[in-house]
Structure 1
Amino acid sequence: MYAGGDLFPMYQGVLVCGGAVVFAPAAGAAVPAASCTVTPGPNDTYVVITGEGFTGPRKLNDGESTVDLAIGPDGTFRVQRFQKNVDYTVLAVNEDQNFIFVNCKKVGSAATPKPQNPQNTPPVQPGSRRDIAQGREAGTQAGAAAAKKSCETKPVADKSGQQHSDAYWQAWTQAANRAFNRVCNGR
Structure 2
Amino acid sequence: MHRRNRNTLLSGVLAASVALGGAALAVPAAAAAPTAVPAASCTVTPNPQGEGVVITGEGFTAPRKLNDGQTTDPLTINADGTFRVERPKNADYTVLAVEETQNFVFVNCKDASGQKPGTGVNKKDYNKGYRDGLWAGRKAARTDCDEPAQPDKSKMRSESYWNGWTAGAQAAFDKWCHTGSDGGPVGSGGPVGSTG
TM range (shorter): 0.3 to 0.5
Structure showing the higher helix proportion among its residues: 2
Under a length normalisation based on structure 2, what TM-score does the superposition of the two structures give?
A: 0.44
TM norm structure 1: 0.46
More strand by share: 1
